[in-house]
C-alpha cells in the first residue's frame, strides 16, 4: 500500500507537470502572437522612433509567465526575426537585428529576469512595468548612441521614447488590475 501511494503521488505530479507545460505553452504561444502583432502596430506620435505596443505585450507576457517561459518566448521571437520572418517592427534578418535596434532586443532578454510583484496592487504593478520599460529603453538608447557614435542622438531617442514607455507602463498596470477584477 505504501508503494501504491508513492506511485499514485508520482503519477499525480507527472500529470500536474504536464498540465503546467501545456498551460504555459499555450500562454507563451498566445503572447508570442501578441508581441509580433504589437510590433506591427506603429502609432505615429510625431517622434523619430516608432511607438508600438510590442513592449506592452511583452511586459504582460512576462507578468504572467514564469522566468523560464519568458526566456523561451523571447528567444523564439528573436530567433524568428533573425532567420528572416517579418516579426520585428522595422526589418528582418540578422543584419537588421544587429543594427540600431539590437540594444532594445538585448533589453527584451534582460527584462525576462525582472521579478513580478507579489501583490496585485496598482503601484507595485506599475513599478514592474516601469522597470521593464526602463531597462529596455536604457539599453536600447545606449546602444543607439554607441551604434551611431552620437550621445546627442541617444538622448534625442530617449526623449522620443519616454512618453510612450510611461503610457505603456500605466496601460500594462491597468490591464493587470482589470484582468484581476474579471
133: which DSSP letter? H
Query: How many other CB atoms sit within 10 Å of the CB of residue 123?
Result: 10
pLDDT for residue 74 is more than 60:
yes
In this prediction, residue 167 has a pLDDT band, given cuts at 50, 70 and 90, of very high
Dihedral angle, C-alpha 30, 31, 33, 38, nearest 10 °: 140
Which of these ranges, 5-19, 116-130, 141-155, 166-180, has the smallest mean pLDDT?
5-19
pLDDT in tens, 150-161: 999 999 999 989
Which of these ranges, 65-74, 115-124, 140-149, has the smallest mean pLDDT?
115-124
In Å, how far are 106, 121, 128, 176, 178 from 68, measured between CA atoms?
17, 25, 18, 21, 26
pTM: 0.87
Amino acid at each position: 500500500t505504501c508503494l501504491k501511494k508513492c506511485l499514485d503521488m508520482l503519477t499525480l505530479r507527472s500529470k500536474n507537470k504536464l498540465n503546467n507545460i501545456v498551460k504555459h505553452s499555450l500562454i507563451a504561444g498566445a503572447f508570442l502572437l501578441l508581441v509580433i502583432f504589437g510590433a506591427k502596430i506603429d502609432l505615429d506620435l510625431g517622434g523619430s522612433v516608432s511607438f508600438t505596443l510590442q513592449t506592452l505585450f511583452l511586459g504582460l507576457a512576462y507578468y504572467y509567465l514564469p522566468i523560464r517561459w519568458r526566456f523561451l518566448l523571447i528567444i523564439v521571437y528573436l530567433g524568428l526575426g533573425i532567420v528572416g520572418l517579418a516579426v520585428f517592427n522595422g526589418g528582418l534578418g540578422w543584419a537588421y537585428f544587429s543594427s540600431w535596434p539590437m540594444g532594445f532586443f538585448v533589453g527584451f532578454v534582460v527584462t525576462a529576469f525582472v521579478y513580478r510583484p507579489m501583490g496585485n496592487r496598482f503601484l507595485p504593478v506599475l513599478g514592474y512595468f516601469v522597470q521593464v520599460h526602463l531597462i529596455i529603453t536604457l539599453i536600447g538608447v545606449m546602444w543607439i548612441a554607441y551604434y551611431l557614435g552620437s550621445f546627442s542622438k541617444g538622448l534625442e531617442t530617449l526623449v522620443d521614447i519616454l512618453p510612450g514607455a510611461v503610457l505603456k507602463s500605466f496601460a500594462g498596470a491597468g490591464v493587470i488590475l482589470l484582468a484581476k477584477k474579471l
